[in-house]
Structure 1
């Protein structure tokens, strides 16, 4: 593919596969169609990868995925000469093994660099020529010129500052940026329902409860970072298996659901401990545990909120 297809048609087709990301879809499509590289900034589980993969699939453009970390060297990103062939034949273009950056440039694909700000400075600096001039010169191998559809799409988590690198202005000046936040409650309920295959009344109740407690982790004062929608998906999946093990079938009864001593609320609490305790991150100053925080959130949902809603 040598050029980007019709953007309006792409938007309409891709939107059918996404939940609640129409605005972000339009902005990303407009940026890449304009020939711009872009960084998507937001917490994990906000659909950044899903959005990008849907666009690439619709356009038939290859997607090259790279995880940014301290081990991502320039050679891993750009490529390297085959050591065995170098010893046998010396350096040449034929024994050069291209990395994901060069492959994306040669095939006109999207290079998706996740956790962009975790990559070392010298690795990020190797991107400058690709971003500015759409070409990279490799010693002893020659020059690679990018196809017109090549784009760098990076992502980063603004809430995580452990092991991250401060991006230089020479990098950020060459990138567009889009903030991608969590979706609203209705959209997350739709996502969880879709991903867990729920349809019965029990499923609808469980999905609503799982999404509520999961979203509550993002506003709890003792947490630096809460859980993405993946946490709610796992709460539902684990809770359903627990329900089968314990023979819990009365969860569809709204009266039973609001009784904290009944089987259903206890089942949700246990599922939360398994699905969410490893996903939430305590504030450094908080003197508590993930389990205590989850217990507080559970009490808010199944004890305090119902009690406040009672007449009198």
Structure 2
């Protein structure tokens, strides 16, 4: 697998300080995390920011691998990662935790069950906030103090002041322009270092297909890579929505093509997900040409 490594010496030192497991090479660890970066700069910049205690915002199209990127960073830093999936229903309890009734012996007591924010702060773990711009604008300011230099929050359910343990880091992900999303306010955006995550193409995509799907036929893999490149180009030209070029959907199609014809695999995994008939016909024509 050609991933353009090794990493720079200063980045290796950072990861070794974070107790990277020495029996693994960096390439093995990255493969275990599941994200092969199209540029080493993406990895270096993300590791640098996290090692300095900065929050990072992964920004890019759907299916480009933002969640896998976060999981790979978690793997490299040898840190468990707790996740928050944002939606319009996200509230303080979803972020911070909730109270419930429990028993101590025969005595009934009120117990607080920590949510992902409190848990990751107290244990010094990674916190991943997915689709951060899907949350209502009034919800995320609850954790502004967690995201700035204070790394502190007063838990409204217990009045406990929680300060993040060393090792706590925040990674968020964003897809812009989707239905239900709202622009991030400046106060929130300024708490992050932004890293653009592009689509994976070429040799990196080939390596991903080989390591993450059951497809092994070189000719078919090359056809899928060509299809992906054509879809990405069509998205950049405004002919298709970003959903059409999702790498996640492409990997599903690769997997299905082992058992059913490739054209039908693409139909199920990519074409039928598109809302507009014009887009469905466009991708169908591309598929017919290639396969």
Query: Shorter-normalised TM-score: what interval?
Result: 0.7 to 0.9
Secondary structure, aligned partner of 1:6: helix
Partner of 1:298: 287
Alignment partners' CA distance in 1, 2:128 and 2:92: 16
Match for residue 221 of structure 2 among 190, 202, 207 = 207
Match runs of 1:125-140 below 5 Å: 125-132=141-148, 133-139=150-156, 140=158
Q: Unpaired runs of 5+ in structure 2?
A: 1-10
Task: Give the structure 2 partner of residue 191 of structure 1.
Answer: 208
Q: Is the 8 A contact 1:224 1:281 kept in 2?
A: no
Within 2, Cα distance between the matches of 1:47 and 1:15?
17
Q: Distance in 1 between matches of 2:287 and 2:71?
A: 35
Pairs within 5 Å for 1:163-202: 163-199=180-216
C-alpha distance in structure 1 between counterparts of 2:141 and 2:190, whole Å: 13
How far does the alpha carbon of each residue in 1:144-172 deviate from its partner, in whole angstroms, 9 at most, with x for none? 111121111100112x3310122111111
Task: Name the structure 2 match of 1:238.
Answer: 256
Map Cα deviations across residues 255-282 of structure 1 (whole Å, 9 max, x no partner).
xxxxxxxxxxxx3322221221144454
**Runs of at least 5 residues in structure 1 that lack an aligned partner in the other structure:** 243-266, 303-312
TM-score scaled by structure 2? 0.80
Q: Distance in 2 between matches of 1:208 and 1:231?
A: 16
Alpha-carbon deviations, 1:159-211, whole Å to 9, x = none?
x3310122111111111111110122221122112222444xxx111111122
Q: 2:231 is matched with which residue: 211, 217, 232?
A: 217
Distance 1:49 1:288 in 2: 30
Q: 1:234 to 1:89 in 2, by over 3 A?
A: closer
Tell me the equivalent position of 1:96.
112
Q: Would you say how many aligned residue pairs link Structure 1 and Structure 2?
A: 261
8 Å CA contact retained: 1:109, 1:150: yes
Higher relative contact order (CA 8 A, sep 6+): 2
CA 1:195–1:62 in structure 2 vs 1: closer, same or farther (change >3 Å)?
closer
Post-superposition offset of 1:13: 4.0
Q: 1:235 is paired with a residue of what secondary structure?
A: helix
State the superposition RMSD in angstroms: 2.7
Maintained 8 Å contact 2:71/2:81: yes
More deviation, 271-280/102-111: 271-280
Which residue, out of 135, 151, 158, partners 2:169? 151
CA distance in 2, matches of 1:37, 1:82: 31
* Mapped pair 1:113 → 2:113: no
